[in-house]
Amino acid sequence: MKVFSGEKMTKSEIEKRIAELRGLIEKANRDYYDLHQPTVGDRDYDLWEAELLRLEKENPEFATDDSPVRNVAGGVSEGFAKVTHEPPMQSLDKTHSKEELSDFDSYVRAQLHSTPDTYTYLVEPKIDGVSLSLRYENGILVRAATRGNGRVGDDITANARTIKTIPQVLPDTAPRTLEVRGEAYMTREGFVELNKRQAAAGLEEFANPRNACAGSLKQLDAKVTAERPLDVVIYNAGGVGCDGFASHSEMIAAFREWGFPVAPWSKSCKTMDEVFSAIDELQERRHSFQFEIDGAVIKIDERKFYDILGATAHGPRWARAYKYAPERAETIVESITVQVGRTGILTPVAELKPTELAGSVISRATLHNADQIARQDIRIGDHVWLVKAGDVIPAIDSVIPEKRTGSEQAFTMPTACPVCGGAVVRAEGEVAVRCVNPVCPAQLSRRIEHFASRNALDIRALGETVVDELVGQKLVTDPLDLFSLRAVDLYAVEISGHRFGKNALTVMDALEAAKALPLHRWLFAMGIPNVGVTVAKDIAAEHGKLSELANSRVLLDVIANDEKKGKERQILPIKVEAAKAVLGFFASDYGQRFLARLAMFGIDPASEKKTPVKAEGPLVGMGCVLTGTLSRPRGEYAKLIEEAGGIVQNAVTSKTRYLIAGENTGATKTEKARKLGTEVINEQQLLDLLRSKALS
């Protein structure tokens, strides 16, 4: 490939290069937006884009309307209703240097030279998520949509309703009809946890929080989205309800008042020097946010200038993105080793030349699975760019092919378990290869390590080496064996030539303390597939004790409900796979033995007290029962009622204040309710109640 390098290209070479760049960018867009599986690093993408823009500008005869640099990337997906954006949801023109930003300012100054008023800039974080639009009618959220191609996006209302920080009902001070726009993102912490769950289930991990967020919003089943740690920041006006603000900052303040999450940091700047130092300050703060940022957005604050400045097809002329150079470091893949996890999954790991990146020295990075290695074409001996996915997890961004010498070696997955030598298989629909030997010592070690990990039973002194030693010496053949360990045995264990010694007492104390840990910690510790920290908490919240789980009505209901194929939407956020896995665990021989041994040790972990219901809102302390055919999923109403401080009950009792009766509600039900002093209302009346502060 001939890359433009300064020497003069002929017209036909330019035309070829333009076609090539368009092809590269379009493929990258498809991989990124449709498949959520990026195949190029951000920097390469930005370089292609910048080169294409320049070539098209210098050679306007080759510029076409369908060029990817003149259109908003990000397609629409199958399976979703379509939403037309009015006005279209635009993108932002990017700058990569302070000089380019100064050019932007000169342009603005020239355009506004005839107005006597001065303008101010606002610098905001550029959140690396998925842009979306939220529409309210009558103060109630009626539609959420992705940007799509800018003109038409996907209707993701059901999914957006599962994001807790998106207001479902607006206060009376907000316009009755309103559309706002912003960014959905996955929290960094949530991303790390989700990837752990994906890996444990043998599924493809997400490359970064942005991809994980996009994948989560494009779920056809909102229950899956509900389990994903998503949040939003609202930063832009939509097509309706946002007029009348003199400045962007006033509009954002109003958004905040109406209950929308807004950016936790922004800076108002009078001069370009102030803009530059705000950009630097933001860069220093970038790791302190819950979301990843890939730059800053510089906006003119005074909205009266927006019409004067206008827009291109790509983005408004009153704002610019400033992209930070991605934090990355060059290193070398010295070898690729294979780890065996607690569920037997074989994970290839790149052993790297130790390199400093964003404050820590990195010597290893997971390569996830063989498919991923093939996609990125990573070979042993390659020079690679190292990044931190979600700001925390070391990951290989891309190979640097120019540095190849020809001596690099392709990697092949082993055909037997590298620890026990047992058979490995790849299940259908999974990307993972697993060792299927149930007594593989590597699996046992990792299970015990998980059992002792921070979010599980938190037995700090039991790290990888100690656990490997205990398993190697057959002192422990099951996680619960830890509870029958004797201090003397532990004391004498040798780890790399040293006695474990006094650490034994620390372990004994931690084990004693673990016996009293709450149910969700134990449930997570048990390492049941599909049961991560969040799912464990959700399940624990619905149960009293661990011993109740084996015959749990709640879990059976989750499965039964699902089989009714979503007629009655799930009220509990527990997913079916998790419910099945938990019941399956306790029904198994191993699960039965596990329970029996716990009983022998006198351990029966109990749930923590449920969080008290909300102490404010129009329905504080009032019992509500939903019945009949409702026009929206029951779970949605339940969520709204709880957010308003109400308590959702299954049946009418003397404590029920409202019976919300949908269509086809039987007369006996309403009769009984009236007798008990319960008011019978319809859906519209409920929505009115939710919006009113005081009841008349």
Enzyme catalytic residues:
126
Closer CB to ligand IVH, 56 or 124, in the complex: 124
56 binds ligand IVH (CB under 6 A): no
Q: Among 673, 694, 688, which residue's Cα sits nearest to residue 620? A: 694
Site for ligand IVH in 316-375 (CB under 6 A): 316, 319, 321
Residue nearest ligand IVH by beta-carbon distance:
131
Pick the closest to residue 465 from 492, 505, 440, 494 (CA basis): 494
Q: What angle in degrees, to the nearest 10, is found between the helix axes of 553-563 and 576-587?
A: 130
Q: Does 279 bind ligand IVH (CB under 6 A)?
A: no
Rule CB under 6 A: choose which of 235, 322, 500, 637 binds ligand IVH: 235
Mutual orientation of helices 576-587 and 589-601 as an angle, nearest 10°?
Answer: 70
HSE at residue 131, side-chain half, CA atoms within 13 A, is 25
- Residue 145, phi then psi, degrees to nearest 5: -140, 150
DSSP bridge pairs for 127? 293
Chain mean position to CA 359: 24
Q: Name which of 285 and 364 has its Cβ closer to ligand IVH.
A: 285
345 backbone dihedrals φ, ψ, rounded to 5°: -70, 135
Residues in the chain: 696
Q: Does 215 bind ligand IVH (CB under 6 A)?
A: no
Q: How far is Cα 410 from Cα 376, in angstroms, rounded to an integer? A: 12
Q: Which of 175, 315, 441, 662 binds ligand IVH (CB under 6 A)?
A: 315
Q: In whole angstroms, give the CA distance from residue 123 to residue 412.
A: 48
Among 187, 216, 236, 665, binds ligand IVH (CB under 6 A): 236
Contact 232, 156 (CB under 8 A): no
Q: At what angle do helices 634-643 and 683-691 cross, to 10 degrees?
A: 30
CA distance 32 to 292: 17
335 to each of 324, 349, 384, 411, 577, how far by Cα in Å?
31, 8, 13, 9, 37
Task: Using the minimum distance from each CB to ligand IVH, give the nearer residue, 148 or 479.
Answer: 148
124 contacts ligand IVH (rule: CB under 6 A): yes
Q: Kindly indicate which of the ranges 18-26, 121-129, 248-256, 459-467 contains the residues binding ligand IVH, using the contact rule CB under 6 A.
A: 121-129
Asked whether 419 and 440 are in contact (CB, 8 A), the reply is yes
Decide whether 77 or 91 has the Cβ nearer to ligand IVH.
91
Span near ligand IVH by CB under 6 A; candidates 119-127, 133-141, 485-493, 503-511: 119-127
Given a contact cutoff of 8 angstroms between Cβ atoms, the answer to whether 533 and 524 are in contact is: yes
- Candidates 180, 262, 297, 680: give the one binding ligand IVH (CB under 6 A): 297
Q: Given candidates 90, 211, 561, 627, which one binds ligand IVH under the rule CB under 6 A? A: 90
**Residue choice 53, 55, 69, 127 for contact with ligand IVH (CB under 6 A):** 127
d(CA 554, CA 574): 10
- Find the shortest distance in angstroms from Cβ 127 to ligand IVH: 4
CB 297 to ligand IVH: min, Å: 4
Nearest approach, Cβ of residue 91 and ligand IVH (Å):
4
Among the listed ranges 86-94, 161-169, 216-224, 331-339, the one in contact with ligand IVH (CB under 6 A) is 86-94
Q: Does 522 bind ligand IVH (CB under 6 A)?
A: no
Do 347 and 341 form a contact (C-beta atoms < 8 A)?
A: yes
Shortest Å distance, C-beta 114 to ligand IVH: 25
The smaller minimum CB distance to ligand IVH, of residues 91 and 195, is found at 91
Is the previous residue joined to 87 through a cis bond, with omega within 30 degrees of 0?
yes
Residue placing its CB nearer to ligand IVH in the complex, 129 or 618: 129
Q: How far apart are the first and last CA of the chain?
A: 74
- What is the separation of C-alpha 278 from the centre of its chain, rounded to a whole number of angstroms? 28
Rg (CA), the chain: 29
Cα separation of 203 and 489, whole Å?
39
Shortest Å, Cβ 319 to ligand IVH: 6
- Stretch touching ligand IVH by CB under 6 A, among 124-132, 330-338, 455-463, 520-528: 124-132
Q: Where are the alpha helices (DSSP H) in 495-575?
A: 503-514, 519-525, 533-541, 553-563
Inter-CA distances, 351 with 332, 348, 434, Å: 9, 10, 21
Residues binding ligand IVH: what is the number (CB under 6 A)?
15
Q: For ligand IVH, which is the closer residue by CB, 130 or 582? A: 130
Which residue, 295 or 394, has its beta carbon nearer to ligand IVH?
295
Q: Which helix (H) or strand (E) holds 361?
A: strand 360-366
Per-residue string for binding with ligand IVH, 169-188, x by CB under 6 A?
Answer: --------------x-----
| Pick 108 or 508: Cβ nearer ligand IVH | 108
Question: In whole angstroms, how close is the CB of 236 to ligand IVH at the nearest point?
Answer: 5
Which among 123-131, 344-352, 525-533, 662-670 is the span making contact with ligand IVH, rule CB under 6 A?
Answer: 123-131
Please choose, out of 22-30, 313-321, 616-624, 659-667, the segment that lies near ligand IVH by the rule CB under 6 A. 313-321
Q: How far from the centroid of its chain's Cα atoms is residue 35's Cα?
A: 16
**Residue 32: CB minimum distance to ligand IVH, A:** 13
**Judged by CB under 6 A, which of 53, 92, 214, 687 binds ligand IVH?**
92
Q: Which of 38, 77, 83, 131 binds ligand IVH (CB under 6 A)?
A: 131
Longest dimension (CA), the chain: 90
Nearest approach in angstroms of CB 354 to ligand IVH is 34
Residues 6 or more apart in contact with residue 692 via CB below 8 angstroms: 618
Helix/strand/coil for 259: coil
With contacts defined by CB under 6 A, name the span among 122-130, 188-196, 212-220, 302-310 that binds ligand IVH.
Answer: 122-130
**DSSP assigned state of 423:** B
Q: Does 249 bind ligand IVH (CB under 6 A)?
A: no
The residue (of 91 and 503) whose beta carbon lies closer to ligand IVH is: 91
Separation of alpha carbons 106 and 281, rounded Å: 23
Instruction: Please give the Cα distance from 6 to 112 (Å, whole number).
Output: 35
Least CB distance from residue 68 to ligand IVH, whole Å? 14
Segment interacting with ligand IVH, rule: CB under 6 A, options 315-323, 430-438, 574-582, 644-652: 315-323
Least distance CB 137 / ligand IVH (angstroms)? 23
How far apart are the C-alpha atoms of 444 and 194, rounded to whole Å? 23
Q: Does 91 bind ligand IVH (CB under 6 A)?
A: yes
> Closest CB to ligand IVH among 321 and 400?
321
Strand pairing of 319-323 and 94-95?
Answer: parallel
Q: Is there binding between residue 126 and ligand IVH (CB under 6 A)?
A: yes
Min CB(271)–ligand IVH separation in Å: 21
Is there a contact between 293 and 128 (Cβ–Cβ < 8 Å)? yes
Closer residue to ligand IVH in complex, CB, 124/204: 124
Q: Whose Cβ is closer to ligand IVH: residue 127's or residue 535's?
A: 127
**CA triplet 564, 569, 572: central angle to 5 degrees?**
110
Binding site residues, ligand IVH, CB under 6 A:
90-92, 124, 126-127, 131, 183, 235-236, 297, 315-316, 319, 321
